[in-house]
Amino acid sequence: MDIFAHRGVSIHYPENTIAAFQAAADLPIAGIELDVHVTADREVVVIHDETIDRTSNGSGYVKDFTLQQLRKFDFGSWFSPQYENERIPTLGEVLELFAGTHHRINIELKTDVFAYEGIESLVLKEVATHQMIERVIISSFNHESLQTVAQIAPYIDIAPLFAEVLVDFTTYTALIPAKALHVHVSTAFRKSIRLALDEGAIVRVYTVNNKQDARRLQQLGVQAIFTDDPVQMLEALR
């Protein structure tokens, strides 16, 4: 079962920063997960929330700042003073960091609250520029966003995120050309996961920080987990 570092190694480093991704790049794991939003000057930046309030020393919506304005904020001190120099990364910078590695990059389009007109094209352009088409998975809770991705780039791997009920995979893929489902660990029940796997789905489960859960999912045949603590999961699955 593959391990993806969720927002980087976010248990030990401030989430979605270069420090968290560098730590993941140094591990023998399959990949990383990150979240993207779009700035006022249409740069794709890596951050989980719509606002910078929780993970920086600033306040306000990402969409209302230019990249240059966002760069002035400290995205590390909220986690620990030793990371006060962490700045918000662009998607391009994170892709650059992984240029020489084998890791897969799961880009989650955070289009649930704001649509960010054209975010799908902006992200795909960055992915193509960095020659990462075969290593990227694009996921979202907003499945219309994924349909847009599939229309522009039918060759790229997409994965709908589900927070609650897991739908029948075959019925679902008649609507959206996905090979994979990303399922919340609290709804990763044996029966529905087995059904999805038997129908040929790739199932990845988020966010798994408990060793027992990881072992159970591995036994079920789940292909990957997202975890904040990849080192602990490597130990659990050894």
CA distance 159 to 139: 5
Calculated CA dihedral for residues 190, 144, 33, 60, nearest 10 degrees: -130
Helix (H, G, I), strand (E, B) or coil at 185: helix
Residue among 85 and 147 whose Cβ is closer to ligand G3P: 147
Phi-psi category of residue 8: left, alpha or beta, with phi > 0 → left and psi -120 to 50 → alpha: left
How many residues form the binding site for ligand G3P (CB under 6 A)? Answer: 11
The structure tokens listed for 84 are 């006060």
2, amino acid identity:
D
HSE-CB of 154 using CA atoms within 13 angstroms: 3
Tell me: does residue 15 bind Ca ion (CB under 5 A): no
Question: Is 35 near ligand G3P (CB under 6 A)?
Answer: yes
3-state DSSP assignment of residue 103: coil
Q: Is 213 in the site for ligand G3P (CB under 6 A)?
A: no
228's contact among Ca ion, ligand G3P, none, with CB below 5 to 8 A by partner kind, is none
**Is 184 a residue of the active site?**
no
Decide which of Ca ion, ligand G3P, none touches 135; Cβ closer than 5 to 8 Å per partner kind: none
Task: Check binding of 139 to ligand G3P (CB under 6 A).
Answer: yes
Give the footprint of Ca ion on residues 104-123 (CB under 5 A).
Answer: 108
Using the rule CB under 6 A, is 108 a contact of ligand G3P? yes
Q: Given the complex with Ca ion, which of 85 and 209 has the nearer CB atom?
A: 209
C-beta of 192 vs 207, nearer to Ca ion: 207
51 three-state secondary structure = strand
Beta bridge partners of 10: none
Active site residues: 6, 48
Query: Which residues contribute to the site for ligand G3P (CB under 6 A)?
Result: 6, 33, 35, 48, 108, 139, 161, 182, 206-207, 226
